[in-house]
Amino acid sequence: MAAGPRRRFPAIAAIAAVVVVLLTAGAHALDTPPAAATNADPTKPKYQALDKPQEADELLIGWLGESYRPDGAGGAAGGGAASANANPNASQPQRRGVPRVLSWNPRVMHFPGFLSDEECDEIVRLAQPKLKRSGVVDSATGESKVDDVRSSSGQFFARAEHPVVARVEQRVALWTHLPVEFGEGMQVLKYRDGQEYRPHADYFSHPRKDDNGGNRMATVIMYLTTPEKGGETVFPRVKAPQSQLDDPSFSECAKQGLAVKARKGDAVLFFSIRPDGRFDPGSQHGGCPVLAGEKFAATKWLHVARFAEGFEKHVAVKRLIHAPSPSPAPLWCRDDNPLCEGWAEEGECDSNKSFMVGTREHPGACLKSCGRCDVAAHLHAGETEPPAWCEDHHATQCPAWAAKGECEKNHGWMVGTKEKPGYCLRSCGACDLVADLYKDKEEEERRREGGDGTEAAAAA
């Protein structure tokens, strides 16, 4: 019986030896950059052909510090150090595929050399025939519309519509740690002759904002060409570093805040939703006007959950916000617009203070969402809160419906009558409608508890 175990030992040893060989080979592969083709252009990065599958280290170019020299020095791509006197603003800079953090609040990351020149050219070639005037999403309805705030032309690819698109989407997933299916289709945009996209946020506040995979969580912008001047991506709510302000190669638009130059192959990633689930107003960004040349860019918007394409079923996903709840507002303190809550979260209470908050003489439209009920408190001096027994049947919806004017438009359902009270008495300020009914109940309860001495005297 002892012979059985001994016969298994050689097999186990052989398997262990194979594992050691594979691990050693894998480690060697990670330490060794891909060999360059002998007939390749030395000014181009040496990546695999567009239609071949790639390993993770080849998909995410540069995560091991690979670089290449555009002047051909040293020939092939490799892990060599960058030249000490390389000019970062030269027309053909030495690109290093090493991501760097530009800002933690909001979270903004820059990845030089995210795409190869061949990938950039292929995406532009595929998109060119389908370009048309770009639209924007209406903040009130969620519908697409044409607006002067965005003057580019563009077109969408479905997810994995072409091999190069599929591979880039896989690379975006590796960088963002968000699955490919969380992303909308890649949008390719073209800007020229002063065209721009004025500062905006990528998250939505319209009523249907969560209907398909929840809100937009992150954005990756990839530059497919390098304009001669302008075309930077600017974050106007983030302070620009002094080195950027002193750099004459940045346009005046780019000096509004932290900016990233549009360089072919580079990419920028930023998050529109904070880790606690709240919108990040600092992620507001814009595409500066292209002052010379033309700019092609590819954008990937990533949601908090799977984004359905085509005939796929849409699934609504609500954000979970892990932040302290605001203090309860007095009943008289309301918002005049159902979108106030979203606008407040976007930072409009500060950036559009006259409309949102206003003044003591002219209170704004969103006092409740901005937490500024104090602005109109003097207009409601002496008013008392409704009694505890006066409640809304729909605690979350009634205040919003009342803010829309439903107390008047839909009086029968919201307020009702004494014989048939409505469902939103508290929000409509109509507690007096049923006050007699509750007054009789309170007196009956007091008598039952001996509050007026009647039942106590009878018991004696």
Q: pLDDT tens digit string along 165-199?
A: 999 999 999 999 999 999 999 999 999 889 999 99
Higher-confidence residue: 398 or 38? Answer: 398
**Are 247 and 381 members of one domain?**
no
pLDDT-based confidence at residue 71 (cuts at 50, 70, 90):
very low
Angle CA(303)–CA(351)–CA(406) in degrees, nearest 5?
Answer: 75
- Give kind and range of the element (H or E) at residue 135: none
CATH of the domain at 118: 2.60.120.620
**Are 347 and 414 members of one domain?**
no
**Are 137 and 217 members of one domain?**
yes
How much is the average pLDDT of 344-354? Answer: 90
Residue 408 sits in which domain range?
Answer: 388-460
* Neighbour-count burial of 214, counting CB atoms closer than 10 A to its CB (0-12 exposed, 13-18 middle, 19+ buried): buried
pLDDT tens, position by position, 104-159: 999 999 999 999 999 999 999 999 999 887 655 555 555 565 565 556 788 999 99
Counting the structural domains of the chain, the total is: 3
Q: Is residue 178, in this structure, part of any structural domain at all?
A: yes
**Are 125 and 169 members of one domain?**
yes
Q: Is residue 323, in this structure, part of any structural domain at all?
A: no
Task: List the structure tokens of 458.
Answer: 């009878």
**Are 268 and 336 members of one domain?**
no
Q: Is residue 107, in this structure, part of any structural domain at all?
A: yes
> For 34-38, 118-122, 327-331, 389-393, which range has the lowest pLDDT when averaged over its residues?
34-38
**Are 357 and 395 members of one domain?**
no
Q: Residues 207, 169: contact at Cβ < 8 Å?
A: no
What is the amino acid identity at position 105? N
**Are 417 and 289 members of one domain?**
no
**Are 359 and 400 members of one domain?**
no
Q: Is residue 392, in this structure, part of any structural domain at all?
A: yes
Three-state SS sequence of 196-247: CEEEECCCCCCCCCCCCCCCEEEEEEEECCCCCEECCEEECCCCCCHHHHCC
How much is the average pLDDT of 18-38? Answer: 45
366 has which bridge partners? Answer: 335
How much is the average pLDDT of 336-353? Answer: 88
For residues 83 and 92, give the distance between their C-alpha atoms in angstroms, rounded to a whole number. 13
**Are 215 and 337 members of one domain?**
no
**Are 97 and 246 members of one domain?**
yes
